């Protein structure tokens, strides 16, 4: 039982990283970014390129992936989302499907569709008080936890974090307050890219790397964000942990292949029963 | 050559039907069905399974249509009240659930291996190239019926209410219209058309597997609807044909660029689909045709 | 007379095909309170949106303290010294009062150090806000929210403060307090240009009246003269368009 809880928390943390990214972009740009999965994939492959093809350590490759993906995200914003700024959110979410196609297939084009893996040695799992813990899980725990703390600090304690929350709360008023929306949006993309690429690398270390790896996370991500309340990044973390734990528990009664169905059920239940998310308090809308 | 031409035309017809369904659901009723590939997959599998079980054309077709209607009604019943973006997420989640089911219930669906050897309808009457032509004519007749059905719905009072709902729920609701039931009907009508599309798809190819039903189906359909001008059925025909011609055209990329391997050529096609969709949204968001409602209004908007 | 603080010339702005504000021209001199009055639908909101930069003017010029700000967007205008209190949605509801005040300052005013002095100045005018920095702005009552919005706009020391119907939606009890606050802010040295429906109360504290009707500036005159004008009705309805240039 404890083992299941532990596994659930770790896989929840893995979902939490991109869930925070999704929640931030949802709040500030006001559309659900369906390309979030392909951002994870893209980040994982940039790291793969540096780690396997160039031969730098995975740690350095992960950093380069964050930088590279941030550049890609800014480029996409400039080419796609900025011309569509002010369009209704259906246009933006359809555009994000277009972005998803481009990103995922650029990966296929450059790297092929085969399953790949990072150049890391797999250590034997540790045993600790009857629990099986492997190094990847410890790493995921530490990295995800650190990332959450950093994002929390940026959001709650820095001017740009306040500006982000301000834009997502009331974009017109943020304009009047001298906040440049494009700068805030750029910062959001950089943070989202860093979170997604980090998640991509961690997912790749823990499992496999293939062009579909990110897409498989899209449902849990949306489930986490909806569960936490849209545009509420801290809620998204909570949502992600719940998804992780429930998915792990579900494997007790369901075949593991149906793990993702948990997300589907959660999305339906939340939308039906608590459209404002689990944290209850509906965001005060304008 | 005739074989190739009819093959392309049948594929165009099938995707036009999927787009036609989306045009009813999203174009007319404002319901952003991102999971359209899931409905399409479900109807295709039902058609395939019933054909494999030996049921004749009409019964398989009706079963596929009923599946489309039933699933659509169910999904709409649960989620028709949701805001557009939530609706998109919910339908996508449904489609992914369908995909999981198809992949994992191997006893029924063959799993990742799919279902081979689906009997082709009317094969007793013809064979070879003339059969291709016969199938095309059958597809054309079915598509024409669907088109007439969609056009009749659009022009009817029902269609007007749908568009009113799309523009403003609240106003329509204060007029005493039952928002929810209208939405459910519209979504189900789209589901019926997806049933026809699913039947044609499985019986034409004779083999289906889950990879044929990915998010790219959603992308095609949205492209066709946007290109044709959201809400316009005639525009949609143009949209569907031009999008499919473009996509089929990209098959020749491989000939133009022989240094690409098959996988790269395939991914390049999908990159072009994504880029095409984005360009369309940026440069032609109203499509190349306008909804007929707009033409009527044009005189008095100024 | 010295150069006016704000000089608007031949300003045209609108949505869609037609112009809502047509060829508007007026000036706001340093110090004092100017009030734009006019019937519903006169284009007051459109005019103020164009002034603030939330709507790009089609043509014409806006000169603030000798600097042409016509083509600037809202953030740039805010940094150029234009403060603005929107009529509605004028605080960040999901942020705390303290955060609202900080945000109002930090992206406009250049020096960090001046923040606490600016905050104390606002607290002096709106003592209700003291000690509530960690409360969520969305939980404030309508009147308190208006005070916070007003206080926020003051934080970066704007040279001109635009108020969009400050008394709208307030209970009568608060309306009086609001106008007293406007006067207090002006006495503290901030020039104010506001739109108001409560003409009588607004004129009691204003120096200048600017009459806007059907998108055009019909007149600009001292407030006292406006209140004693024999034909306010005609000014409103446009019959007095011959007086258009007077006082400008």
pLDDT value, residue B82: 84
How confident is the model over C146-157, as a mean pLDDT? Answer: 92
What pTM did the predictor assign? 0.89
**What percent of chain B stands above pLDDT 70?**
92
Q: What confidence tens digit (pLDDT) does each residue in A163-190 have?
A: 999 999 999 999 999 999 999 999 999 9
Which of A36-40, A49-53, A253-257 has the weakest average pLDDT?
A253-257
CB of B215 within 8 Å of a chain A CB? The answer is yes
Q: Count how many pairs of residues, chain A against chain B, have C-beta atoms within 8 Å.
A: 128
pLDDT value, residue A184: 96
**DSSP string across C92-123:** -TTSBHHHHHHHHHHTT-S-GGGHHHHHHHHH
pLDDT value, residue A225: 93
The pair of structure tokens assigned to A254 is: 């369901």
Please name the residues between 76 and 135 in chain C that touch chain A, using a CB distance below 8 Å.
78-79, 84, 86, 88-95, 99, 102-104, 106-108
List Cβ neighbours of C101 (8 Å cut-off, separation of 6 or more). Answer: C119, C122, C133, C148, C151, C152, C155
Nearest of B256, B269, B248 to residue B7 by alpha carbon:
B248
Q: What is the rounded average pLDDT for all residues in chain B?
A: 86
Q: What confidence tens digit (pLDDT) does each residue in B189-220 have?
A: 999 999 999 999 999 999 999 999 988 899 98
pLDDT value, residue B173: 63
Is residue C223 a contact partner of residue C201, using CB atoms and an 8 Å limit?
A: no
| Distance of alpha carbon C118 from alpha carbon B43, whole angstroms | 66
| Distance of alpha carbon C72 from alpha carbon C76, whole angstroms | 6
Q: Would you kindly state where each structural domain of chain B is located, as residue ranges? A: 2-212
CA distance C85 to chain A (A): 9
Which residues face C84 on adjacent strands?
C162
The pair of structure tokens assigned to B99 is: 């995909």
Confidence of residue B248 (pLDDT cuts 50, 70, 90): confident
How confident is the model over A96-122, as a mean pLDDT? Answer: 92
Highest mean predicted confidence (pLDDT) among A55-64, B162-171, B268-277 = A55-64
Edge-to-edge strand list for the sheet holding C6-13: C21-28, C6-13, C59-64, C67-68
Local structure of C218: helix, strand or coil: strand
> Cβ of C103 and A170 within 8 Å?
no
> Cβ of A109 and B271 within 8 Å?
yes
The pair of structure tokens assigned to A159 is: 């001017």
Count CA atoms closer than 13 A to A145's CA, side-chain side: 8
pLDDT value, residue C217: 87
First CA to last CA distance, chain B:
51
Is residue C150 a contact partner of residue C86, using CB atoms and an 8 Å limit?
A: no
First CA to last CA distance, chain C:
13
How confident is the model over A55-82, as a mean pLDDT? Answer: 96
Confidence of residue B177 (pLDDT cuts 50, 70, 90): low
CB of A284 within 8 Å of a chain C CB? The answer is yes
Nearest of B91, B95, B113 to residue B40 by alpha carbon:
B95
What ipTM, to 2 d.p.? 0.90
Angle at CA of residue A103, ends B100 and B226, nearest 5°:
80
Count CA atoms closer than 13 A to C217's CA, side-chain side: 22
pLDDT at B176 over 70: no
CA separation (Å) from B258 to B247, B254, B261, B277, C189? Answer: 18, 6, 8, 26, 75
Q: What confidence tens digit (pLDDT) does each residue in B99-124 have?
A: 999 999 999 999 889 999 999 888 77
pLDDT value, residue A284: 47
> Cβ of A179 and C75 within 8 Å?
yes
Q: Nearest Cβ partner of B263 from A87, A108, A260?
A: A108
Cα–chain-centroid distance for residue A72?
16
pLDDT value, residue A285: 44
pLDDT at B180 over 90: no
Confidence of residue C237 (pLDDT cuts 50, 70, 90): low
Q: Say what the alpha-carbon torsion angle B196, B202, B206, B211 is, to the nearest 10 degrees.
A: 160
Which of A79-83, B6-10, C224-228 has the weakest average pLDDT?
C224-228
pLDDT at A96 over 90: yes
**What percent of chain C stands above pLDDT 90?**
41
| Distance of alpha carbon C247 from alpha carbon B108, whole angstroms | 86
Number of neighbours of residue C233 by Cβ within 10 angstroms: 10
Residues on chain A bordering chain B, Cβ-to-Cβ distance under 8 angstroms: 31-32, 34, 79-80, 83-84, 87, 89-91, 93-95, 97-102, 104-106, 108-109, 112-113, 215, 218-219, 222-223, 226, 255, 257-258, 260-261, 263-264, 267-268, 271-272, 275
pLDDT at B56 over 60: yes
Q: What is the rounded average pLDDT for all residues in chain A?
A: 91
> Cβ of B219 and A101 within 8 Å?
yes
- C106 CB neighbours in chain A (<8 A) are 159, 162
Is residue A235 a contact partner of residue A279, using CB atoms and an 8 Å limit?
A: yes
List Cβ neighbours of B124 (8 Å cut-off, separation of 6 or more). Answer: none
Confidence of residue B300 (pLDDT cuts 50, 70, 90): very low
Highest mean predicted confidence (pLDDT) among A64-78, B141-155, C109-123 = A64-78
- A177 CB neighbours in chain C (<8 A) are 75, 78, 103-104, 107-108, 152
- A166 CB neighbours in chain C (<8 A) are 92, 95, 103
| Distance of alpha carbon B4 from alpha carbon B129, whole angstroms | 10
Number of neighbours of residue B302 by Cβ within 10 angstroms: 7
Cα–chain-centroid distance for residue B135?
19
Number of neighbours of residue A137 by Cβ within 10 angstroms: 22
pLDDT at B251 over 80: no
- C91 CB neighbours in chain A (<8 A) are 173
Q: What confidence tens digit (pLDDT) does each residue in B120-131 have?
A: 888 778 777 788
Confidence of residue B169 (pLDDT cuts 50, 70, 90): low
Local structure of A225: helix, strand or coil: helix
How confident is the model over A60-82, as a mean pLDDT? Answer: 97
Q: Nearest Cβ partner of B82 from A97, A260, A271?
A: A271
> Cβ of C78 and A162 within 8 Å?
no
pLDDT value, residue A190: 97
CA distance A270 to chain C (A): 22
**Hey, which chains touch C, using 3+ CB pairs under 8 Å?**
A
How confident is the model over B56-67, as a mean pLDDT? Answer: 95
| Distance of alpha carbon A276 from alpha carbon B12, whole angstroms | 41
How confident is the model over A105-132, as a mean pLDDT? Answer: 86
Confidence of residue B172 (pLDDT cuts 50, 70, 90): low
CA distance A95 to chain B (A): 5
| Distance of alpha carbon C119 from alpha carbon B85, whole angstroms | 40
pLDDT value, residue C2: 66
Confidence of residue C244 (pLDDT cuts 50, 70, 90): very low
CB of B100 within 8 Å of a chain A CB? The answer is yes
Angle at CA of residue B281, ends B277 and B284, nearest 5°:
110
Which of A76-90, A178-192, B177-191 has the weakest average pLDDT?
B177-191
pLDDT at C76 over 90: yes
pLDDT value, residue B246: 78
CB of B258 within 8 Å of a chain A CB? The answer is no
Cβ-in-10-Å burial (0-12, 13-18, 19+) of C73 comes to middle
Where is pLDDT greater, at B14 or B178? B14
């Amino acid at each position: 039982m404890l083992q299941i809880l532990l596994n659930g928390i770790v896989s929840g943390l893995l979902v939490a990283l991109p869930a925070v990214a999704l929640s931030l972009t949802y709040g500030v740009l006001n559309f659900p970014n369906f390309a979030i999965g392909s951002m994870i994939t893209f980040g994982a492959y940039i790291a793969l390129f540096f780690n396997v093809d160039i031969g730098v350590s995975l740690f350095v490759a992960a950093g380069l992936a964050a930088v590279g993906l941030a550049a890609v995200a800014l480029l996409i914003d400039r080419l796609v989302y900025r011309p569509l700024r002010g369009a209704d959110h259906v246009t933006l979410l359809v555009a994000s499907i277009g972005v998803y196609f481009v990103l995922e297939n650029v990966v296929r084009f450059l790297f092929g569709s085969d399953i790949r893996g990072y150049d890391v040695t797999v250590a034997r799992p540790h045993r600790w008080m009857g629990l099986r813990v492997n190094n990847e899980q410890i790493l995921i725990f530490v990295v995800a936890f650190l990332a959450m703390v950093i994002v929390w600090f940026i959001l709650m304690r820095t001017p740009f974090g306040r500006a982000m929350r301000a834009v997502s709360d009331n974009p017109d008023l943020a304009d009047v307050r001298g906040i440049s929306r494009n700068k805030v949006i750029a910062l959001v993309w950089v943070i989202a890219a860093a979170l997604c690429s980090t998640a991509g690398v961690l997912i790749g270390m823990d499992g496999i790397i293939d062009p579909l790896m990110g897409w498989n996370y899209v449902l849990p991500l949306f489930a986490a964000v909806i569960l936490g309340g849209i545009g509420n990044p801290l809620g998204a973390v909570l949502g992600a942990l719940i998804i992780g734990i429930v998915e792990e528990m579900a494997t007790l009664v369901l075949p593991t292949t149906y793990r993702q169905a948990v997300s589907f059920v959660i999305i339906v239940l939340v939308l039906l029963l608590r459209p404002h998310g689990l944290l209850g308090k509906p965001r005060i809308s304008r | 050559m005739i074989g190739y031409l009819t093959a392309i035309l049948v594929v165009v017809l099938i995707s036009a039907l999927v787009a036609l369904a989306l045009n009813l659901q999203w174009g007319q009723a404002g319901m952003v069905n991102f999971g359209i590939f899931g409905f399409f997959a479900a109807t295709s599998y039902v058609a395939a399974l019933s054909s494999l079980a030996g049921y004749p054309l009409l019964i398989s077709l009706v079963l596929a249509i009923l599946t489309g209607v039933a699933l659509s009604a169910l999904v709409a019943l649960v989620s028709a009240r949701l805001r557009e973006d939530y609706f998109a997420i919910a339908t996508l989640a449904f489609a992914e659930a369908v995909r999981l089911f198809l992949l994992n219930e191997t006893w029924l669906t063959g799993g990742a291996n799919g279902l081979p050897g689906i009997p082709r309808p009317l094969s007793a009457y013809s064979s070879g190239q003339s059969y291709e032509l016969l199938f095309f004519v059958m597809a054309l007749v079915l598509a024409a019926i669907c088109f007439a059905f969609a056009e009749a719905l659009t022009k009817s009072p029902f269609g007007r209410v749908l568009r009113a709902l799309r523009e403003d729920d609240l106003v329509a609701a204060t007029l005493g219209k039952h928002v929810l039931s209208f939405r459910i009907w519209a979504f189900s009508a789209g589901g019926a058309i997806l049933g026809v599309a699913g039947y044609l798809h499985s019986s034409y190819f004779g083999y289906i597997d889950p990879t044929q039903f990915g998010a790219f189906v959603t992308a095609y359909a949205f492209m066709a609807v946007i290109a044709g001008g959201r809400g316009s059925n005639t525009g949609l025909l143009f949209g569907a044909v031009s999008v499919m011609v473009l996509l089929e055209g990209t098959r020749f990329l491989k000939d133009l660029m022989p240094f690409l391997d098959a996988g790269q050529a395939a991914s390049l096609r999908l990159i072009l689909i994504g880029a095409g969709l984005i360009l369309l949204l940026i440069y032609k968001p109203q499509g190349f045709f306008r909804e007929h409602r707009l033409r009527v209004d044009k005189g008095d908007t100024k | 007379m010295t150069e006016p603080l704000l000089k608007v010339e031949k300003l045209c702005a609108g949505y869609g095909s037609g112009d809502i504000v047509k060829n508007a021209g007026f000036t706001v001199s340093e110090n004092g309170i100017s009030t734009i009055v006019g019937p519903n639908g006169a284009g007051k909101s459109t005019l103020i949106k164009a002034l603030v930069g939330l709507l790009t003017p089609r043509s014409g010029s806006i000169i603030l303290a000798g600097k042409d700000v016509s083509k600037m967007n809202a953030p740039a205008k805010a940094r150029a010294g234009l403060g603005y209190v929107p009529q509605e949605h004028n605080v960040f509801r999901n942020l705390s009062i303290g955060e609202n005040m900080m945000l109002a300052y930090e992206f406009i005013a250049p020096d960090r150090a001046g923040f606490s002095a600016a905050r104390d100045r606002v607290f002096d005018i709106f003592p209700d806000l003291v000690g509530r920095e960690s409360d969520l702005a969305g939980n404030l009552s309508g009147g308190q929210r208006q005070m916070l919005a007003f206080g926020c706009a003051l934080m970066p020391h704007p040279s001109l403060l635009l108020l969009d119907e400050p008394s709208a939606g307030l209970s009568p009890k608060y309306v009086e307090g609001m106008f007293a606050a406007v006067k207090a802010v002006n006495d503290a040295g901030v020039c104010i240009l506001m739109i108001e429906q409560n003409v009588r109360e607004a004129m009691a504290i204003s120096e200048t009246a600017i009459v806007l009707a059907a998108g055009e500036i019909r007149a600009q005159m001292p407030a006292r003269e406006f209140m004693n004008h024999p034909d306010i009705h005609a000014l409103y309805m446009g019959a007095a368009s011959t007086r258009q240039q007077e006082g400008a």
